[in-house]
Structure formats: structure tokens, C-alpha cells
Amino acid sequence: MVEDSKVLVEKIENVDEIFSILKDYLYGKEIPFVSREKWEEIPHTPFTTLISCILSLRTKDEVTSDASIRLLKKYDTPEKIAELSEKKIEELIYPVGFYKTKAKRIKEIAKTLIEKYNGKVPEDFNELIKLRGVGRKTANIVMVYGYNKKGFLPIDTHCHRIPNRLGWIFTKTPEETKEALKKIIPREYWNEFNHLFVLFGKTICTPVSPFCSKCPIEKYCKKIGVTKHR
Ligand code: SF4
């Protein structure tokens, strides 16, 4: 045990094996909130990653996928989006959560990228979070999935829940989880961690009643807090 009470282990036992098993089991090219099949219909760029991520906030994956395709299949650059009216963007992205606000932000972001960044999504975390409507989670996603940058660890609800169940950490918020995981997950796995754990959380280690009987890493799991499983 280390001094920081939010981390339960100093080192994850069998970490290489766990990541290798999960990669074999889950590996795919899609970003977690857009299905692989649908993501292939959209050019895969930092801009499309950014906009899809904004669409995904408080929205179901299937709705995000469909809205991303309606908008980005045809309007896949800041220049093309900037020419659209907010109303048109609203129509294309409906029914994603907060579609009116998101339409406004997407248009603003497109214009800002053109005016301040030569039409490019900045390849810099601190510049990204200056864009209105882009929070730290979205910026982390863009750095990892848009730019394949090392050293970023986007954490969502699956990435928070599963390491706690595994018994790696004991944290209450995704922010605490990020700090704790940075201490114990080898840096070489940071880029893949979000992808693997989000897919794993959607398919096997689900929020309610996980599929432990089918879980490829069950023997490494302490099942902390798991009262019901299948
Ligand atoms: S054994 Fe169950 S709780 Fe543990 S990681 Fe697998 S599915 Fe999740």
C-alpha cells in the first residue's frame, strides 16, 4: 500500500497480461462513442473527433453515431460547418442532448478555428480547453483519438468504475481516478486505456450486474462493490 489512500496497489500485478487480454478481446478502431461501422463513413480527423465528442456528451452512443454521420459525412471541416446556419446544424444533430446549445457551440468552434488556428484543431491540450464548449474530458479525447498523443488519460464513468472493481484504486470521482491511475498504469498503456475500458464497460463489465462469467480477466479481479453479477 502506498501513502495515497486513493490508490490501493503500488503496482498492478499482471498489467501486461491484462492489457494484452483486453486488446485481443476488444480491439477495434472506432472511438468509443461512435460504432466502428459508422465511424468508417466519416473522415477520421481531429476535427471530426472533436465534434463527435461534443455530440456525445449526455447522449446515447447510437444517437451520437447517427448525428455524427448526418453532420460530418458532408460537413467535415471547420470551413464547411461555419457556412451552415445554427438552425441547419440543429436539424442535423437532433435529437442529441442539448442540441440547440451544441449547435451554437459547434458553429462558434468552427469559426474560432478558422479565425485563430488556420482552420486546424490545436494539437495542444491547453489551447483546446480555451475553445468554448471544450472541457478537459473532450480535450483529452481529442489528444488521444484525434492526434494519437501520448501522456493523456481520458476518464469517463467506465474508466472510473472498472479499476475500482478490479481493486486497483479506491476513488470517488473520475478526477481522483485519473490522478490515482497515472501512478499505477504504465505510461505505455495510457493511450489505449480509455478505448479498452470504455468498450469493456459497455460489453462485459457493465454498470449493473456485470457479465463476470464471461469476463476474460475475472481471475485478476477483486470484484470490489459487485453485489450482483451474471
Ligand atoms: S470479473 Fe466482473 S467485475 Fe471484475 S472486471 Fe470482470 S466483469 Fe468486471
Q: What would the pLDDT profile of 6-23 be if each residue is shown by its tens digit?
A: 778 778 999 999 999 998
> Are residues 187 and 135 part of one domain?
no
> Are residues 21 and 41 part of one domain?
no
Report which ligand 1 atom has the smallest distance to the Cα of 214: 7
What CATH number is associated with residue 202? 1.10.1670.10
Residue 1's pLDDT band (cuts 50, 70, 90): very low
Residue 127 belongs to some domain of the structure? yes
Q: Which of 213, 218, 224 has the most ligand 1 atoms within 8 A of CB, as the residue to mutate?
A: 218
Residue partners of 149: CB distance under 8 A and separation at least 6:
123, 143, 191
> Are residues 106 and 57 part of one domain?
yes
Three-class DSSP labels, the chain: CCCCCCECCCCCCCHHHHHHHHHHHHCCCCCCCCCHHHHCCCCCCHHHHHHHHHHHCCCCHHHHHHHHHHHHCCCCCHHHHHCCCHHHHHHHHCCCCCHHHHHHHHHHHHHHHHHHCCCCCCCCHHHHCCCCCCCHHHHHHHHHHHCCCCCCCCCCHHHHHHHHHHCCECCCCHHHHHHHHHHHCCHHHHHHHHHHHHHHHHHCCCCCCCCHHHCCCHHHCCCCCCCCCC
> Are residues 175 and 136 part of one domain?
no
> Are residues 125 and 24 part of one domain?
no
Q: What is the mean pLDDT of the chain?
A: 91
Residue 228 belongs to some domain of the structure? no
Residue 176 belongs to some domain of the structure? yes
Cell, residue 210: 456485470
Report which ligand 1 atom has the smallest distance to the Cα of 210: 7
Q: Over pLDDT 70: what percentage of the chain?
A: 93
What is the span of the domain harbouring residue 190? 15-29+156-220
CA dihedral 174, 218, 197, 210 (to 10 degrees): -80
What is the C-alpha separation between 209 and 144, in angstroms, rounded?
30
Is residue 2's pLDDT more than 80?
no
What is the C-alpha separation between 178 and 116, in angstroms, rounded?
31
Is residue 173's pLDDT more than 80?
yes
Report which ligand 1 atom has the smallest distance to the Cα of 226: 3
Which one-letter amino acid corresponds to residue 184?
I
Mean pLDDT for the stretch of residues 121-133: 96
Q: Is the peptide bond before 154 cis (omega within 30 degrees of 0)?
A: no
Residue 83 belongs to some domain of the structure? yes
> Are residues 23 and 43 part of one domain?
no
pLDDT digits (tens, 9 = 90+) for 51-107: 999 999 989 888 999 999 999 999 999 999 999 999 999 999 999 999 999 999 999
Q: What's the number of domains the chain is made of?
A: 2
> Are residues 160 and 113 part of one domain?
no
> Are residues 119 and 83 part of one domain?
yes
pTM given for the model:
0.78
pLDDT digits (tens, 9 = 90+) for 174-198: 989 999 999 999 999 998 899 899 9
- Ligand 1 center from residue 136 Cα (angstroms): 28
- Ligand 1 center from residue 73 Cα (angstroms): 37
Residue 10 belongs to some domain of the structure? no
> Are residues 77 and 25 part of one domain?
no
Residue 183 belongs to some domain of the structure? yes
Residue 119 belongs to some domain of the structure? yes
Cell, residue 52: 463527435
Give, using CA atoms, the residue closest to atom 8 of ligand 1: 205
Residue 229 belongs to some domain of the structure? no
